């Protein structure tokens, strides 16, 4: 296989080597992906890093966060960092919009390859992640608005809500389901 790739790269250039690699991957996966599918996967794949960049910006804009969970401290933090927190919530919202085509791009090839259970696992875990992240974003945005009112009970409730939403579990399930399915299909190198 390595010799064939080298020969194609020498004789057919990078396009020849890439076409040979796609054919090998398609044989292993049971379907031939034409150039259109390859370009589609590459375009959709760029949405993943876009989401990651938005998520990183979101986290960096909100550092260091409230030092304590006491209502007065949380309210003071969000009142002081009002603009930065709202900007970070807009950025994560944009990232979540980018994640939708990424999810679609992950699910389509799995379904084409006949791995319906894996496609469903990726779709469900990704959808749960997006839904939980939207709830957390809404809670944090409401927390920013409530922090100015001085309603300590509302501040405590919203802070606890946005702090305890199990996003980590949803993203872990999504990552695990995606990685397992793409390794199984041969679409990702081992």
- Interval 17-70: pLDDT, tens: 455 444 444 444 444 455 556 666 666 777 778 888 888 898 888 877 776 778
Tell me the domains of the chain and their CATH numbers: 1-32 (no CATH), 45-185 (1.20.120)
Phi, psi of 174 (to 5 degrees): -65, -45
pLDDT at 93: 93
Contacting residues for 133 by C-beta, under 8 A, at least 6 apart: 92, 96, 167
**88-133 confidence digits (pLDDT tens):** 999 999 999 988 888 888 788 778 878 788 788 888 888 888 888 8
pLDDT at 26: 47
d(CA 116, CA 65): 41
pLDDT at 90: 94
pLDDT at 28: 46
Least confident of 20-24, 168-172, 180-184: 20-24
Contacting residues for 8 by C-beta, under 8 A, at least 6 apart: 16, 17, 19, 20
pLDDT at 151: 87
pLDDT at 149: 85
């Amino acid at each position: 296989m390595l010799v064939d790739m080298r020969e194609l790269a020498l004789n057919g250039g990078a396009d020849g080597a890439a076409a040979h690699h796609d054919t090998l991957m398609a044989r292993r996966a049971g379907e031939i992906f034409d150039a259109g599918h390859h370009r589609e996967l590459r375009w959709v794949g760029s949405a993943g890093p876009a989401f990651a960049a938005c998520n990183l910006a979101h986290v960096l804009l909100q550092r260091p966060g409230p030092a304590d969970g006491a209502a007065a401290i949380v309210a003071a933090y969000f009142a002081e960092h009002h603009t930065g927190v709202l900007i970070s919530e807009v950025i994560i919202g944009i990232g979540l919009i980018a994640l939708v085509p990424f999810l679609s791009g992950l699910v389509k090839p799995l379904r084409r390859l006949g791995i319906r259970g894996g496609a469903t696992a990726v779709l469900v875990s990704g959808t749960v992640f997006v839904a939980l992240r939207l709830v957390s974003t809404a809670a944090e945005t409401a927390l920013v608005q409530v922090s100015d009112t001085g309603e300590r009970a509302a501040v405590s409730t919203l802070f606890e809500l946005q702090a305890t939403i199990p996003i980590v579990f949803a993203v872990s399930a999504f990552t695990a389901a995606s990685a397992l399915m793409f390794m199984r299909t041969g679409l990702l190198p081992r």
